[in-house]
C-alpha cells in the first residue's frame, strides 16, 4: 500500500496520506514522499489546485512514534537524539518549506484529528476546511519539544499570539467548532460533505491563471516566508538543545513507550 496517494479529479489534484493503521503519522521517508507528491502534482499543467487530506479517521498524527521507538531500542537514547537532529527534523522541515511554497492553491481538508506536525502541514496550506468531527492540537509540549514543523510561527500567524500561546503551552485538543471560531480553519462541514466542499474550494482558488496565482501568493507571503524560515531554523536549534536535557529525554521515551506498546 502506498503511504502517499496522488490522484487527479477533473482539474483538482489530491494528495492523501495513506497510513490509516498508524494514524497517517509520518517517518522521514513518508514526509519526504509527501513533499515530492505536492511538488509533482503542482507541476501538472492539468491541475489547477491541490487538496491535502488523509485516509480514514485521522488527518495526520504527526511523527510515527513507533518508528522513533525502534531507533531508540536499537541505538539507545543518544542514537535517537542524533537521528532526530540529523535526519528526522530536517526531513520534516524540508517538506514544510515545500508545502508552503507550493505554486498552486492548496486546501487542507481535515478529515479527522490533526496533531503536532500533522496540524502544521495543514497550516502551510492556503485554505483549511474541517469535518465537524476533526480535532486539533499542537501537542509537541507533551514531548517537551518546540514545534519543529513551523507551528510556533504558523499558529500565531493565523490565530493571534495570545490564542496560539495557550494552545502551544497546553497542548490542548480543540474541536472543529473552536478551531473555526479562532480562525485556525476557514470552514467546517459535515464529515460526509468534506470531499465535495474541499473540491469546491479548490476550484474557486484555481479560477485564475496559474502563473498569476503563483506570483500573487509569493508576494502575499513574502515577509512571512522569511519569518517562517527563521522560525524553522530557530525551532530546529531549540529542539537540538532541548533533547540533550534529561527531563525532555524522559518525556520522549515515556510517550514512545505509551504509543508503541
The residues with which 63 forms a beta bridge, in sequence order, are 26
Provide the 10 A C-beta neighbour count for residue 59: 30
Cell numbers representing residue 132 in the block: 465537524
Q: How confident is the model at residue 35 (pLDDT cuts 50, 70, 90)?
A: very high
Beta carbons within 8 Å of 113's beta carbon, 6+ residues apart: 23, 57, 58, 59, 61, 134, 135, 136, 137, 173
CB 99 within 8 A of CB 106: yes
CA gap 48, 206 in Å, rounded: 5
Q: How confident is the model at residue 254 (pLDDT cuts 50, 70, 90)?
A: confident
| The predicted structure's pLDDT at residue 249 | 86
CA gap 79, 229 in Å, rounded: 27
**pLDDT top residue among 118 and 143:** 118
| Burial status of residue 140 (CB atoms within 10 A of its CB: 0-12, 13-18, 19 or more) | buried
- Residue spans per domain, the chain: 4-260
Q: Which of 182, 114, 123, 178 is nearest to 153 (CA)?
A: 123
Assign residue 10 a region: left if phi > 0, alpha if psi is -120 to 50, beta otherwise? left
Provide mean pLDDT across the span 236-249.
Answer: 91
- Length of the chain (residues): 261
| The predicted structure's pLDDT at residue 261 | 63
Pairing of strands 187-189, 58-60: unpaired
The CA radius of gyration of the chain, in Å to the nearest whole number, is 17
CB 214 within 8 A of CB 55: no
According to CATH, the topology of domain 4-260 is: 2-enoyl-CoA Hydratase; Chain A, domain 1 (3.90.226)
Confidence (pTM): 0.95
Cell numbers representing residue 42 in the block: 503542482
Residue 179 has pLDDT above 80, yes or no: yes
Q: How confident is the model at residue 140 (pLDDT cuts 50, 70, 90)?
A: very high
Amino acid at each position: 500500500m502506498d503511504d502517499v496517494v496522488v490522484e487527479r479529479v477533473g482539474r483538482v489534484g489530491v494528495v492523501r496520506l495513506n497510513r490509516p493503521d498508524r494514524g497517517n503519522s509520518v517517518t522521514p521517508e513518508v514526509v519526504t514522499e509527501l513533499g515530492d507528491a505536492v511538488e509533482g502534482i503542482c507541476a501538472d499543467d492539468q491541475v489547477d489546485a491541490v487538496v491535502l487530506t488523509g485516509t480514514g479517521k485521522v488527518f495526520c498524527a504527526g511523527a510515527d512514534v513507533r518508528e522513533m521507538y525502534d531507533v531508540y531500542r536499537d541505538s539507545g537514547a543518544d542514537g535517537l537524539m542524533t537521528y532526530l537532529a540529523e535526519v528526522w527534523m530536517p526531513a520534516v522541515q524540508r517538506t514544510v518549506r515545500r508545502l508552503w511554497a507550493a505554486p498552486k492553491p492548496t486546501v487542507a481538508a481535515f478529515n479527522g484529528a490533526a496533531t503536532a506536525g500533522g496540524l502544521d502541514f495543514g497550516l502551510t496550506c492556503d485554505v483549511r476546511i474541517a469535518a465537524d468531527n476533526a480535532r486539533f492540537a499542537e501537542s509537541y509540549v507533551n514531548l517537551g519539544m518546540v514545534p519543529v514543523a513551523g507551528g510556533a510561527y504558523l499558529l500565531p500567524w493565523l490565530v493571534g499570539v495570545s490564542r496560539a500561546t495557550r494552545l502551544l503551552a497546553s497542548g490542548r485538543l480543540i474541536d472543529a467548532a473552536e478551531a473555526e471560531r479562532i480562525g485556525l480553519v476557514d470552514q467546517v462541514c459535515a464529515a460526509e460533505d468534506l470531499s465535495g466542499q474541499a473540491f469546491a474550494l479548490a476550484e474557486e482558488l484555481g479560477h485564475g491563471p496559474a502563473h498569476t496565482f503563483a506570483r500573487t501568493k509569493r508576494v502575499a507571503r513574502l515577509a512571512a516566508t522569511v519569518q517562517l524560515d527563521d522560525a524553522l531554523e530557530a525551532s530546529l536549534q531549540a529542539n537540538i538543545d532541548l533533547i540533550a536535557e534529561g527531563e525532555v529525554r524522559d518525556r520522549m521515551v515515556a510517550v514512545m513507550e505509551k504509543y508503541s506498546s
